[in-house]
Structure 1
Amino acid sequence: MAKPMTKAQLVAAIAEKAGTDKKTAAAGLEALTDIITSEVSEGGAVTLPGIGKIYCRERPERMVRNPATGETMQKEADKVVKVTIAKALKDSVNG
């Protein structure tokens, strides 16, 4: 399995692809991250065309088990961020 792309590598790739400098690409990436974070934390969803949909889902209160002790306990309801991958991306990976 290949190593994941780092933020610096992603910024460099964006700058090269967009024909701009790394500072502008980093600012664009940071703006995109801020927009997605604020939208999803408010309960909304963001669709990135060709990539997928990022959204927040609420999980109900449930019983969980501590694997170290085997003890079961009640876990409070919480929220979890989910990503649904776009069909176009799945198809390009599975070629």
Structure 2
Amino acid sequence: MNRKELIDSIANTTGASKTDVQEILGAALDGIVAAVAKGEKVSLAGFGTFEPRERSARTGRNPQTGEPVQIAASTAPAFKPASAFKDAVNS
């Protein structure tokens, strides 16, 4: 399912216009991205948690030459699904 299909599904379920759903979904996703970018955790009950995770600096290898390459420390977004979400997927 892509973004357009999700918007169509929400609009059909709620009876709201696709334009309104698109604006609301965009605002919700922008809010999640902004919070995680600030280092905050966003928890949606029954769905899951979005959070930033620190990755330490490490040494990797160039696959073509085998040469060691230093990989800088970084922060990456992560998602941990709630148990209800996991159960729905596994049933």
- Cross-structure match for 1:74: 70
Alignment TM-score, normalising by the size of structure 2: 0.94
The answer to whether structure 1 residue 94 and structure 2 residue 90 are counterparts is: yes
TM-score (norm 1): 0.90
Which of 11, 18, 21 aligns to 1:15? It is 11
Residue number in structure 2 paired with 1:42: 38
Instruction: Please list the CA deviations of residues 74-93 of structure 1 after superposition, one character each: whole Å capped at 9, or x if unmatched.
Output: 11111111110111011111
- The answer to whether residue 60 in structure 2 is matched with residue 64 in structure 1 is yes
1:30 aligns with 2:21: no
The runs of at least 4 aligned residues of structure 1 exceeding 4 Å deviation read: none
Match of 1:24, SS state, is: helix
Per-residue CA deviation, residues 29-59 of structure 1 (Å, 9 max, x unaligned), is 0000110010000000111222210110111
Name the SS of the counterpart of 2:79 in structure 1.
strand
RMSD between aligned residues: 0.9
The size of the alignment, in residue pairs, is 91
What is the letter of the counterpart of residue 15 of structure 2?
A: G
SS in 1 for 2:10: helix
Once residues 65 and 80 of structure 1 are traced to their aligned partners in structure 2, the CA distance between those partners, rounded to angstroms, is 20
Note the residue ranges of structure 2 that are not aligned, 5 or more in a row: none
Task: Identify unmatched segments of 5+ residues in structure 1.
Answer: none
Quote the Cα distance in structure 1 between the aligned partners of 2:83 and 2:54. Answer: 24
**What is the percent sequence identity of the aligned residues?**
37
Partner amino acid, structure 2, of 1:79? T
Per-residue deviation, 1:71: 1.0
